[in-house]
């Protein structure tokens, strides 16, 4: 991950969309930004070039080692989001495709919202509008076992109910401009209650001051 043309394209598409919904490149100048599950730091690097002061989080030391080699100027933090949230406070938190890997995504949202106010959230979701439905799955590979042995798959309405519980405002963007390759964000719910690797949802979430 981080080297293919497809991956670079998906990063660029989503970053440009974030710029559009937040009002332009100037929004990020001087802002502190936390990139959760930063992988190799490509999202963080994009916004660093716009003037953001970025911190990269990951649970995998090997990923943070790559970030350090590629972007030695970036701050780093390692923790398990199933258990805690990085210490500190940031102007913007990127929570991109991490919730889908966690055993308790609702608690992870609560932890995120406790001290921070502005979030970009993206996750693959179940095909359902049921806010109470969840399916716990065991990991089939060891690659993500550092998070937990299980992951909880939920629909978009599940996340939105947690946003509401936390007193957050939110706007979901089912926008075709986010589509890239097989990834789709503007799909229609058919209540299959199934999980599809290429069906995602995307939110701008904030706490009103």
SS3 203: strand
Find the CATH number of the domain harbouring 162.
3.40.50.150
pTM of the predicted model, to two decimals?
0.93
Q: Which domain holds residue 105?
A: 5-206
Position 148 scores a pLDDT of 63
DSSP conformation letters of 133-173: -EEEEE-SSSTTTTT-SEEEEEBHHHHHHHHHHTT-EEEE-
Position 139 scores a pLDDT of 77
Low-confidence ranges of the chain (pLDDT < 70): 1-3, 140-148
Position 171 scores a pLDDT of 98
Q: What does the DSSP 8-state code read for residue 26?
A: G
Structural domain count, the chain: 1
């Amino acid at each position: 991950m981080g080297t293919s043309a497809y991956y670079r394209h998906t990063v660029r598409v989503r970053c440009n969309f974030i710029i559009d919904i937040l009002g332009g490149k100037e929004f990020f100048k001087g802002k502190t930004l936390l990139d959760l599950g930063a992988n190799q730091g490509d999202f963080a690097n994009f916004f660093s070039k716009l003037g953001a002061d970025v911190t990269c989080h990951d649970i995998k030391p090997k990923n943070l080692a790559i970030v350090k080699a590629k972007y030695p100027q970036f701050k780093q933090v390692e923790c398990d989001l199933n258990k805690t949230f990085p210490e500190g406070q940031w102007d913007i938190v990127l929570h991109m495709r991490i919730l889908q890997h966690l055993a308790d995504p609702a608690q992870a949202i609560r932890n995120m919202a406790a001290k921070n106010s502005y979030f970009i959230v993206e996750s693959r979701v179940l095909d359902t509008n049921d806010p109470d439905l969840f399916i716990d799955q065991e990991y089939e590979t060891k690659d993500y076992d550092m998070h937990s042995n299980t992951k909880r798959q939920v629909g978009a309405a599940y996340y939105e109910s947690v946003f509401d519980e936390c007193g957050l405002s939110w706007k979901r963007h089912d926008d075709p401009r986010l589509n890239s390759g097989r990834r789709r964000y503007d799909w229609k719910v058919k209540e299959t209650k199934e999980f599809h690797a290429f069906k995602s949802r995307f939110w701008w979430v904030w706490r009103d001051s």
